[in-house]
Amino acid sequence: MTRTTNPYSLSAGVPSVEVFRRLRTDAGLSDKAPEAVTLALPNTWHGVVLHHEGEPIGMGRIIGDGGTAFQIVDVCVHPAHQGRGLGRRIMAALTAELERRAPATAYVSLIADGPARLLYEGFGFADTAAHGSIGMYRVMTRDAVPPLGQDS
């Protein structure tokens, strides 16, 4: 019997600033200013990094106040590795940590882009509009984001 090893591994933590930015842009998400990422990553309540043969190819984070409000952010998988259940694996790790540590009355939110909503619905997330709420956002646009590799 041939035994195949899984080339994917998931570990708790956050990537470096450079890897974070690369993972986001590779997956088609917007880039973030290096200064902003430097401030953000240490404030992660829980994060995971997905590796393929040691190379980071995906991630997800939970941010929040640790008690009443949490948000799942930065869930992404490199396009070359999509369609293999890896986003589901990231979400399973994040939701397991919430179920383990978050208080029972905590509110957990996320923004679902396109077909990702189907993934999130599988973990119990529902459209806020169906509950009389709407999701809203504002992006701060004071400074332009320098191109990847040209940190200011």
Q: How many CB atoms lie within 10 A of CB 86?
A: 19
Q: How many CB atoms lie within 10 A of CB 72?
A: 24
Nearest to 89 by CA among 77, 74, 73, 103: 77
Which DSSP string corresponds to 104-149?
TT-EEEE---TTHHHHHHTTT---GGGGT---------SSPPPPTT
- Check residue 2 and give its pLDDT: 61
Q: What is the pTM of this model?
A: 0.87
Asked whether the predicted pLDDT for residue 49 surpasses 90, the reply is yes
CB 73 within 8 A of CB 91: no
Rounded mean pLDDT of 119-123? Answer: 95
Q: Rounded distance, CA 60 to CA 45, Å? A: 11
